[in-house]
């Protein structure tokens, strides 16, 4: 397994994370991610054999489920009022497939 962070890995991460980077940022982040990944490599020295992972933190003895009663929710017009683009009852997004011509 190769843990080397190079430009190709960073370009792949850009796509996975949906974040475009400028060419300068790609250079910088390639170098820094490489060092950070090198730093976290020290975990390989921990003896974790047979240890269960802790994935969530909960001190509750039992799962708690809220009573099934109808309560008010946020006002739709107020929520849509925060959107960069909305139409009547919906958030409006740019086109999903095909060419970007209107």
Partner 1 sequence: MSLHELSIFDLRRRIAAGEVTPLEACDAALAQIEARDRDVHAFLDVHAAHARDSARNLMASGKGRSLPLGGIPVAIKDNMCVEGTPTTCGSRILGKYQPPYTATAVARLRDAGAIVIGKTNLDEFAMGSSTENSAFGPTRNPWDLSRAPGGSSGGSAAAVSAGMAAASLGSDTGGSIRQPAALCGVVGMKPTYGRVSRYGLVAFASSLDQIGPFARTVEDAALVLNVLCGKDERDATSASTPVPDFTAELGKSLKGVRIGVPWEFLGSHVDTSVRTAFDRTIDAAKKEGATVVEVALPNADFGLAAYYIVANAEASANLARFDGIRYGHRTPKAQALVETYSKTREEGFGREVKRRVLLGTYVLSAGYYDAYYRRAQQVRSLIISDFATAFERCDVVAMPTSPTPAFKLGDKTDDPILMYLNDVFTIPVNLAGLPGISVPCGLSPEALPIGLQLIGRAFDETTLLRAAAGMERVADFSRGAVAPLPKGARA
Q: Give the residue, chosen from 4, 23, 66, 70, that forms a contact with partner 1 under the rule CB under 8 A.
A: 66
Q: In terms of residues, how long is the chain?
A: 102
28 closest CA partner among 3, 12, 10: 10
Q: Does 88 bind partner 1 (CB under 8 A)?
A: no
Distances (CA, A) of 72 to 77, 79, 89, 91, 101: 14, 14, 18, 21, 41
| Interface residues toward partner 1, by CB under 8 A | 1, 3, 5, 9-10, 12-14, 16-22, 25, 28-29, 32-33, 35-37, 39-46, 48, 51-60, 64, 66, 74-75, 78-79, 82-85, 91, 93-96, 100
């Amino acid at each position: 397994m190769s843990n080397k962070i190079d430009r190709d890995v960073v370009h792949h991460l850009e796509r996975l994370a949906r974040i475009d980077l400028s060419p300068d940022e790609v250079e910088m982040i390639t170098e820094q991610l490489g060092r950070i990944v090198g730093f976290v490599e020290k975990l390989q020295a921990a003896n974790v054999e047979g240890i269960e992972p802790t994935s969530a933190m909960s001190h509750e003895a039992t799962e708690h489920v809220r009573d099934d009663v109808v309560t008010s929710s946020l006002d739709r017009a107020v929520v849509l009022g925060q959107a960069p683009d909305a139409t009547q009852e919906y958030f409006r997004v740019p086109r999903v497939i095909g060419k970007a011509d209107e």
